[in-house]
Chains A and B, each alone.
Chain A
Amino acid sequence: DTGVSQNPRHKITKRGQNVTFRCDPISEHNRLYWYRQTLGQGPEFLTYFQNEAQLEKSRLLSDRFSAERPKGSFSTLEIQRTEQGDSAMYLCASSLGGTDGYTFGSGTRLTVV
């Protein structure tokens, strides 16, 4: 068990560019979650998958955001036409179900300049 892995750890991009983040969950976990955390705030739910199915999306996830989890393994979160307001820490978490709760990754910090 190597934990939840997120890449890259840091990303600096120019406004208007597209960015993609990757999350590798704990291998036996069937649920995968994306959260966004801005400075001084708690994480906010974006979306989650059970296996490859995207079961819920927050209204925070505008049409510039898309998440996928092909084959129910790793997941990607893409942001198109980035804006300065997208600057945040993007956190991924996974879980097995039951009452164990989540395991979070270390996050990807996005800075849009």
Chain B
Amino acid sequence: AQSVTQLGSHVSVSEGALVLLRCNYSSSVPPYLFWYVQYPNQGLQLLLKYTTGATLVKGINGFEAEFKKSETSFHLTKPSAHMSDAAEYFCAVSSTGANSKLTFGKGITLSVRP
């Protein structure tokens, strides 16, 4: 079985501040991990993914995430928040491949204060 925990439902940061969105996963086998962003009334857009290899993964829009097996974590960071980053962010895990069934967390809403 696989699962994702995203603690907290809302994070608020000031423009220019560090963004840190936490994700912990559970998987019985080496996982594939993903972060998606969703803007209001739209579908999900892939920010970045970890499949194999380098544990620090860089994605679009300046975001990156680090796979830490010992902590079963895949936290998303961005050094400097921009107003356009305000959206909902979902972490997801697959135990059977990057193109298999994904299990999503409940999501975190990011607000950016001017």
Contact = CB atoms under 8 A, between A and B. Distances in A.
Interface of A: 4, 6, 31, 33, 40-45, 48, 56, 91, 93, 95-107, 109
Contacts of A45: 101-103
Contacts of B74: none
Contacts of B98: 95, 98-101
A91 B44 contact: yes
Which among B32, B101, B106 has the highest number of chain A CB atoms within 10 Å?
B101
Interface stretch (B12-20, B45-53, B62-70, B76-84): B45-53
B28 interface: no
Contacts of B104: 42-44
Given A48-B101, A101-B98, A42 B43 contact: no
A101 B101 contact: no
Interface residues on B, range: 20 to 34
A107 B107 contact: no
Contacts, number: 66
A112 B51 CA distance: 39
Interface of B: 4, 9, 32, 34, 36, 41-46, 49, 51-52, 90, 92, 97-99, 101-107
Q: Can you list the 4 inter-chain pairs with the closest CB atoms, starting with the nearest?
A: A42-B104, A104-B43, A99-B98, A99-B51
A36 to B, nearest CB: 11
A103 B34 CA distance: 12
A97 to B, nearest CB: 5
11 contacts: A31-B99, A40-B9, A42-B4, A44-B104, A98-B99, A99-B49, A99-B97, A100-B98, A101-B98, A102-B99, A105-B43
B44 A41 contact: no
Nearest to A106: B43
A63 B32 CA distance: 31
